[in-house]
Protein backbone atom coordinates (compact mmCIF):
# COMPACT_ATOMS: atom_id res chain seq x y z
CA UNK A 1 0.00 0.00 0.00
CA UNK A 2 1.35 3.42 -0.93
CA UNK A 3 1.74 5.70 2.05
CA UNK A 4 1.16 9.39 1.38
CA UNK A 5 2.37 11.85 3.95
CA UNK A 6 -0.05 14.02 5.88
CA UNK A 7 1.63 17.20 4.63
CA UNK A 8 0.80 16.20 1.05
CA UNK A 9 -2.86 15.61 1.87
CA UNK A 10 -3.06 18.92 3.72
CA UNK A 11 -1.33 20.83 0.92
CA UNK A 12 -3.62 19.40 -1.76
CA UNK A 13 -6.70 19.78 0.43
CA UNK A 14 -6.03 23.40 1.38
CA UNK A 15 -5.34 24.25 -2.25
CA UNK A 16 -8.67 22.82 -3.36
CA UNK A 17 -10.48 24.62 -0.54
CA UNK A 18 -8.92 27.95 -1.56
CA UNK A 19 -9.90 27.31 -5.17
CA UNK A 20 -13.49 26.78 -4.04
CA UNK A 21 -13.35 30.01 -2.03
CA UNK A 22 -12.08 31.92 -5.09
CA UNK A 23 -14.99 30.75 -7.20
CA UNK A 24 -17.41 31.47 -4.35
CA UNK A 25 -16.15 35.06 -4.12
CA UNK A 26 -16.59 35.57 -7.85
CA UNK A 27 -20.05 33.99 -7.87
CA UNK A 28 -21.30 36.04 -4.91
CA UNK A 29 -20.00 39.24 -6.51
CA UNK A 30 -21.70 38.29 -9.77
CA UNK A 31 -25.04 37.70 -8.03
CA UNK A 32 -24.75 40.93 -6.03
CA UNK A 33 -24.07 42.85 -9.26
CA UNK A 34 -27.06 41.21 -10.95
CA UNK A 35 -29.37 42.14 -8.06
CA UNK A 36 -28.06 45.71 -8.09
CA UNK A 37 -28.73 46.02 -11.82
CA UNK A 38 -32.26 44.68 -11.32
CA UNK A 39 -32.91 47.19 -8.53
CA UNK A 40 -31.68 50.02 -10.74
CA UNK A 41 -33.91 49.00 -13.64
CA UNK A 42 -37.02 50.19 -11.81
CA UNK A 43 -39.34 47.70 -13.46
CA UNK A 44 -37.82 48.10 -16.92
CA UNK A 45 -37.11 44.78 -18.65
CA UNK A 46 -34.38 44.31 -21.23
CA UNK A 47 -35.33 42.15 -24.24
CA UNK A 48 -32.21 40.84 -25.93
CA UNK A 49 -34.04 39.72 -29.08
CA UNK A 50 -35.19 43.32 -29.67
CA UNK A 51 -32.12 44.97 -28.13
CA UNK A 52 -34.51 47.28 -26.33
CA UNK A 53 -35.97 47.99 -22.89
CA UNK A 54 -39.69 47.68 -22.20
CA UNK A 55 -40.94 50.06 -19.53
CA UNK A 56 -43.77 49.29 -17.05
CA UNK A 57 -46.09 51.32 -19.28
CA UNK A 58 -45.47 48.99 -22.26
CA UNK A 59 -43.36 51.52 -24.17
CA UNK A 60 -40.08 50.60 -25.87
CA UNK A 61 -36.72 52.30 -25.38
CA UNK A 62 -34.37 51.66 -28.31
CA UNK A 63 -30.59 52.22 -28.68
CA UNK A 64 -29.63 55.82 -29.23
CA UNK A 65 -25.87 56.01 -28.58
CA UNK A 66 -22.80 54.08 -27.47
CA UNK A 67 -20.45 55.37 -24.77
CA UNK A 68 -17.01 53.94 -25.69
CA UNK A 69 -15.32 55.30 -22.56
CA UNK A 70 -17.64 53.55 -20.11
CA UNK A 71 -18.51 50.69 -22.48
CA UNK A 72 -22.21 51.45 -22.10
CA UNK A 73 -25.06 51.36 -24.59
CA UNK A 74 -27.65 54.06 -23.98
CA UNK A 75 -31.35 53.59 -24.70
CA UNK A 76 -33.96 56.34 -24.70
CA UNK A 77 -37.70 56.57 -25.08
CA UNK A 78 -39.32 58.97 -27.52
CA UNK A 79 -39.64 62.35 -25.75
CA UNK A 80 -43.28 62.95 -26.68
CA UNK A 81 -44.26 59.45 -25.61
CA UNK A 82 -42.49 59.83 -22.26
CA UNK A 83 -43.75 63.39 -21.72
CA UNK A 84 -47.33 62.23 -22.29
CA UNK A 85 -46.96 59.29 -19.94
CA UNK A 86 -49.29 59.48 -16.91
CA UNK A 87 -46.52 58.27 -14.58
CA UNK A 88 -43.72 60.46 -15.95
CA UNK A 89 -43.29 62.34 -12.67
CA UNK A 90 -42.33 59.11 -10.91
CA UNK A 91 -40.12 57.90 -13.77
CA UNK A 92 -37.91 60.74 -15.01
CA UNK A 93 -37.46 64.51 -14.78
CA UNK A 94 -35.96 64.71 -18.27
CA UNK A 95 -37.99 66.15 -21.12
CA UNK A 96 -35.90 64.21 -23.63
CA UNK A 97 -37.31 60.81 -22.67
CA UNK A 98 -36.33 58.23 -20.08
CA UNK A 99 -32.82 56.82 -20.52
CA UNK A 100 -31.65 53.31 -19.68
CA UNK A 101 -28.12 51.93 -19.85
CA UNK A 102 -26.60 48.52 -20.46
CA UNK A 103 -22.98 47.37 -20.15
CA UNK A 104 -21.93 45.73 -23.40
CA UNK A 105 -18.97 43.84 -21.93
CA UNK A 106 -19.38 40.44 -20.26
CA UNK A 107 -18.71 39.90 -16.58
CA UNK A 108 -16.60 41.39 -15.13
CA UNK A 109 -17.30 44.74 -16.81
CA UNK A 110 -17.48 47.41 -14.11
CA UNK A 111 -14.53 48.43 -11.97
CA UNK A 112 -16.25 47.02 -8.89
CA UNK A 113 -16.77 43.66 -10.59
CA UNK A 114 -13.17 43.59 -11.80
CA UNK A 115 -12.02 44.36 -8.25
CA UNK A 116 -13.83 41.32 -6.89
CA UNK A 117 -12.54 39.19 -9.77
CA UNK A 118 -9.04 40.38 -8.86
CA UNK A 119 -9.54 39.20 -5.28
CA UNK A 120 -10.71 35.81 -6.54
CA UNK A 121 -7.63 35.55 -8.77
CA UNK A 122 -5.36 36.44 -5.84
CA UNK A 123 -6.89 33.59 -3.85
CA UNK A 124 -6.17 31.19 -6.72
CA UNK A 125 -2.49 32.16 -6.49
CA UNK A 126 -2.48 31.01 -2.88
CA UNK A 127 -4.39 27.90 -3.91
CA UNK A 128 -1.64 26.99 -6.39
CA UNK A 129 1.25 27.90 -4.10
CA UNK A 130 0.06 25.79 -1.18
CA UNK A 131 0.38 22.33 -2.78
CA UNK A 132 3.37 23.51 -4.84
CA UNK A 133 5.32 24.43 -1.70
CA UNK A 134 4.17 21.24 -0.02
CA UNK A 135 6.06 19.33 -2.72
CA UNK A 136 9.33 20.48 -1.15
CA UNK A 137 8.17 19.50 2.34
CA UNK A 138 7.49 15.83 1.64
CA UNK A 139 10.08 13.13 1.16
CA UNK A 140 8.45 10.23 -0.67
CA UNK A 141 7.61 10.28 -4.38
CA UNK A 142 3.92 9.27 -3.98
CA UNK A 143 3.39 12.37 -1.86
CA UNK A 144 5.22 14.51 -4.40
CA UNK A 145 3.07 13.12 -7.22
CA UNK A 146 -0.05 14.07 -5.24
CA UNK A 147 1.07 17.63 -4.55
CA UNK A 148 2.31 18.20 -8.12
CA UNK A 149 -0.92 16.78 -9.53
CA UNK A 150 -2.98 18.99 -7.23
CA UNK A 151 -0.93 22.02 -8.27
CA UNK A 152 -1.52 21.37 -11.97
CA UNK A 153 -5.22 20.62 -11.44
CA UNK A 154 -5.82 23.79 -9.43
CA UNK A 155 -3.88 25.93 -11.91
CA UNK A 156 -5.97 24.61 -14.80
CA UNK A 157 -9.21 25.13 -12.86
CA UNK A 158 -8.20 28.75 -12.14
CA UNK A 159 -7.68 29.62 -15.83
CA UNK A 160 -11.35 30.66 -16.44
CA UNK A 161 -11.09 33.28 -13.68
CA UNK A 162 -7.91 34.73 -15.15
CA UNK A 163 -9.02 34.48 -18.78
CA UNK A 164 -11.74 37.14 -18.46
CA UNK A 165 -9.95 39.44 -16.01
CA UNK A 166 -8.74 41.57 -18.89
CA UNK A 167 -11.52 43.72 -20.28
CA UNK A 168 -12.95 42.16 -23.38
CA UNK A 169 -13.27 44.76 -26.12
CA UNK A 170 -16.76 44.94 -27.51
CA UNK A 171 -17.55 45.77 -31.08
CA UNK A 172 -19.95 48.72 -31.08
CA UNK A 173 -21.02 47.96 -34.63
CA UNK A 174 -24.73 48.31 -34.86
CA UNK A 175 -24.86 50.94 -32.13
CA UNK A 176 -26.92 53.87 -33.29
CA UNK A 177 -25.18 57.17 -32.62
CA UNK A 178 -27.64 60.02 -32.95
CA UNK A 179 -26.66 63.57 -33.77
CA UNK A 180 -28.60 66.62 -32.57
CA UNK A 181 -30.24 67.04 -36.00
CA UNK A 182 -31.25 63.39 -36.12
CA UNK A 183 -32.70 63.65 -32.62
CA UNK A 184 -34.73 66.69 -33.70
CA UNK A 185 -36.02 64.78 -36.72
CA UNK A 186 -36.99 61.90 -34.44
CA UNK A 187 -38.95 64.28 -32.23
CA UNK A 188 -40.81 65.76 -35.20
CA UNK A 189 -41.66 62.30 -36.51
CA UNK A 190 -42.81 61.21 -33.08
CA UNK A 191 -44.96 64.34 -32.76
CA UNK A 192 -46.66 63.62 -36.07
CA UNK A 193 -47.25 60.00 -35.13
CA UNK A 194 -48.56 60.97 -31.71
CA UNK A 195 -50.97 63.44 -33.28
CA UNK A 196 -52.42 60.65 -35.42
CA UNK A 197 -52.58 58.02 -32.73
CA UNK A 198 -51.98 58.48 -29.05
CA UNK A 199 -49.87 55.78 -27.43
CA UNK A 200 -51.57 53.35 -25.13
CA UNK A 201 -50.14 53.21 -21.62
CA UNK A 202 -50.47 50.32 -19.20
CA UNK A 203 -51.71 52.60 -16.40
CA UNK A 204 -54.50 53.90 -18.66
CA UNK A 205 -55.63 50.38 -19.43
CA UNK A 206 -55.64 49.49 -15.74
CA UNK A 207 -57.81 52.56 -15.02
CA UNK A 208 -60.24 51.64 -17.80
CA UNK A 209 -60.50 48.08 -16.54
CA UNK A 210 -61.13 49.30 -13.01
CA UNK A 211 -64.05 51.42 -14.26
Q: How far is CA 62 from the centre of its chain?
A: 19
Helix axes of 141-163 and 111-134: crossing angle, nearest 10 degrees = 170
Rounded Cα distance between 204 and 152, Å, is: 63
Question: pTM of the full predicted structure?
Answer: 0.65
Question: Which ranges constitute the DSSP H helices of 64-110?
Answer: 79-83
Average pLDDT, the chain: 82
**pLDDT digits over 4-31, tens only?**
899 999 999 999 999 999 999 999 998 8
Share of the chain above pLDDT 70, in %: 75
- On whether the CB atoms of residues 161 and 120 are closer than 8 A, the answer is yes
pLDDT of 195 strictly over 90: no
pLDDT of 184 strictly over 90: no
How many angstroms separate the first and last alpha carbons of the chain? 83
pLDDT of 2 strictly over 70: no
pLDDT at 199: 56
- On whether the CB atoms of residues 157 and 150 are closer than 8 A, the answer is no
**pLDDT digits over 45-58, tens only?**
888 888 889 999 88
Question: Which ranges constitute the DSSP H helices of 42-109?
Answer: 79-83
Whether omega for the bond prior to residue 108 falls within 30 degrees of 0, making it cis, is: yes
**pLDDT digits over 146-180, tens only?**
999 999 999 999 999 998 765 544 444 445 555 55
DSSP state of 166: S
Least confident span in 10-24, 85-99, 196-210: 196-210
- On whether the CB atoms of residues 130 and 15 are closer than 8 A, the answer is yes
Of 96 and 18, the one with more pLDDT: 18
Domain chopping of the chain, boundaries: 6-201
pLDDT at 170: 43
- On whether the CB atoms of residues 8 and 147 are closer than 8 A, the answer is yes
Amino acid sequence: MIDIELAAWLGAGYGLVLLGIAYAIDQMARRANSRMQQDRSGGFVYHENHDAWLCPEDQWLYPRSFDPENRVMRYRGLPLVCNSCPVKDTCTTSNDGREMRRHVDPWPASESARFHRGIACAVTVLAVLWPALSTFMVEHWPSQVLTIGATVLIAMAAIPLWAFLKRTPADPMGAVVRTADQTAEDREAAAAALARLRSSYASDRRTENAN
